[in-house]
Structure 1
C-alpha cells in the first residue's frame, strides 16, 4: 500500500502557518510530511521562504505521529555537510525518531546567496557524494577528520546522536545520479514517474556493499495538485503559483532568481498547467496522476496543495484523497 504524504511548501506559507498545516495533516491521516528547504520562493507571487529546519523543529514538537522529511536539503554550498548532520541528528531526537534526511544537489535559486558561484551538474554531484559520505560517517559516531576534493572536516563529532540512525534519501533524475547516490542512501527521492529510475536505483543499490541483500528501498515522489470546487479558480491559482514547474529540472536548477523563473514561464498558458497538474475537485484526476508514480515503483507520494489560503479546503477532502491513493497499489501492476 502506498504511503501518502503532505508537503510543507515553505515557498507559499509562513512558519506559523506551516506548523498549523502539519498538525492538520496529521489529524487528517497523512502518513508523513515533507518540507522544502529554500532560501527563495520560485516566484514573487508565492511570497515566502522561512527557514525549513527551524520550522521542522517546531513541527516535530507540535505533532506526535506523522513522519517528517526534508525534500530536499542541499548540503553542498549554503549548508556545510557537518552542519546538516548535526541538524538532522537533533531533529531526529526532537521528533522521537520520525525524521528522514532528504538530500539533493540543489538549485542556483537557493545556493547562489553564499556567493560561491554555480558550477556544472557533474561537479555538484561530486560535492553531494562527498557531503553524503561525511554525513554518514558523522552518524556513525566518534570523531571525524576528512580531506576530500571539495570538503575538509577537522575533528568533528556529533555529541547528541538519536537512538535510531537518521535514514538518508537522495534526489535523483537519471541513470547517472541513481548509480552515484543509491549506494549512499536508503531512500530514493524523485519528482518524475519514470519507471527506469526505480530500476536503476535498485540495481545500483543491490550492487553496493550498503544495499546488498537489503531488497528494494523506499521511493518517495511528489505530486502537485490544485484542489478546489471551482475548477477555473483552481487552474488560475496553479498557473499563478506553479507555472515555473513546467520548465523541468535541467532548467529549474540553473535559474538564479524569481525574475528568471517568471521570464522562463512567461509563455506558459493556463491550459498548459491544467494539462500537467490536477485542478478542481475531480478525485479521478488525482488518482490517475498518482497511479503513474505507483506504477513507476514509488512507495510513497507527497501531495502539494497549491495556495496557502486553500489548505483548509484541501484538508476537508483529504480523507477521500488519501483512501483513493492508498487503494491504487492493488490495481497498479502492468
Structure 2
C-alpha cells in the first residue's frame, strides 16, 4: 500500500513551527514525515535552518504514531558519523519503532563550512558508505574502534541504544549511489531528480523488496498564479538542473541562479494551486514509477490550509 507523507522543511520554518506542523500532519492523516537537515537554507528568503536533532526531540513529544525520517542527513563532513550514530540512537529511543535515519552524500551549501575541499561525487559516495559502516559498528553496542580510509574511532561506545535500531535509508540521484543504496541501505530516497532511472538501478542492484521514498514539491494556494509566485519566490530550486544543487556554496549563489529562471520554469516541476486532480495526478505518476512512499513538500507558509486541503480532497483518494 502506498503511504503519503509530509515534508518538514527546516529551510522555511523555525523549530516551534516545525513541531506544530508535525503534530498537524499526524492529525491530518499523513503517515510519515521527512525532515531536512541543513546548516544553511537554499536562499536567504527561506530564512531558517534549525538544528534537526533538537527539533526531532520536540516532535517526539507531540506525536504518537507519525513515522519520522531525516530527509536527509549527511554524516560525512560537517558532523562525524560517530555523532550521527549517537544522535540517531537517541531519536530511536525517543520514538520507538518510528524513526528512520535517512542519509545522503550532501551538498556543498551545507558541508563545506568546516572543510576547504569539496570532494567529487564518487569520493563523497565512498565516504557515505564508510560512514554507514561506522554507524552500524557503533550500533552493535560495547566499546568499538574503527580505522577506515576516511574515519577513525578510538574506544567509542554508545550507551543509549534503542531496543529496535533505526533502519538506514540512502538518498540517491544517480546510478552509483543507487547501487550503493541497495547494497548497504534498508531503503531508498529520491529527492525528485532522475527518479525513475535511479529507482530501476536500486531495484536491479538488490533493493527489490526495500521501501522507496520520493519527494514531491507542491504549492497549494487559492489560485494557480498565486502558487506559482510563491513557489518561485520561496523555493526556486526545482528549476536548477544537473549538478548545481550539489556544488554552489552559499545561499547568495542560489539567489543569483534564481534570477535566471522564471515562475513558469519552477511551475514545470511544482504543482501549483487548488486543483485536487492535479495534485493526485502528480502523486500517481510517482506511484507508477514504483515508489511506495510519496512525501509532499508544501512550499510557503500556508501549511494549515494545505493540510486541510489534503485531508479533505487528496488523501481520501489514496486511502480508498
Shorter chain as normaliser: what TM range? over 0.9
Q: Which residue of 2 aligns with 1:296?
A: 289
Q: Which residue of 2 aligns with 1:45?
A: 45
Contact 1:43 1:244 in 2 (8 A): no
Q: How many residues align?
A: 318
- In the TM superposition, 1:89-108 aligns within 5 A as 89-108=89-108
CA distance, structure 2, for counterparts of residue 241 and residue 124 of structure 1: 29
The alignment partner of 1:222 has SS state of strand
1:232 aligns with 2:225: yes
Offset from partner CA, 1:79-100 (integer Å, 9 cap, x none): 1001001000100111122100
- In the TM superposition, 1:244-259 aligns within 5 A as 244-248=237-241, 250-259=243-252
Tell me the TM-score normalised to structure 1 length: 0.92
Q: Which residue of 1 aligns with 2:196?
A: 195
- In the TM superposition, 1:49-60 aligns within 5 A as 49-60=49-60
Q: Which residue of 2 aligns with 1:330?
A: none
CA distance, structure 1, for counterparts of residue 78 and residue 186 of structure 2: 24
- In the TM superposition, 1:244-323 aligns within 5 A as 244-248=237-241, 250-308=243-301, 310-319=302-311, 320-323=313-316
Contact 2:238 2:269 in 1 (8 A): no
Contact 1:225 1:303 in 2 (8 A): yes
Please state how far the C-alpha of 1:198 moved relative to its aligned partner: 2.3
Please state how far the C-alpha of 1:5 moved relative to its aligned partner: 0.5
Please state how far the C-alpha of 1:142 moved relative to its aligned partner: 2.2
Q: Which residue of 2 aligns with 1:220?
A: 213
Please state how far the C-alpha of 1:325 moved relative to its aligned partner: 4.2
Contact 1:77 1:116 in 2 (8 A): no
Q: Which residue of 1 aligns with 2:66?
A: 66
Q: Which residue of 2 aligns with 1:210?
A: none
Tell me the TM-score normalised to structure 2 length: 0.96
CA distance, structure 1, for counterparts of residue 25 and residue 279 of structure 2: 18
What RMSD in Å do the two structures reach over aligned CA positions?
1.4
Greater mean deviation of Cα atoms: 58-67 or 186-195: 186-195
Segments of structure 1 that go 5 or more residues without pairing to the other structure are: 207-214, 328-334
Please state how far the C-alpha of 1:157 moved relative to its aligned partner: 1.5
Contact 1:81 1:131 in 2 (8 A): yes
Contact 1:36 1:73 in 2 (8 A): yes
Q: Which residue of 1 aligns with 2:76?
A: 76
Contact 1:196 1:296 in 2 (8 A): no
In structure 2, the CA distance between the partners of 1:296 and 1:326, relative to structure 1 (3 Å rule), is: farther
4+ residue runs over 6 A deviation? none
CA distance, structure 2, for counterparts of residue 57 and residue 117 of structure 1: 32
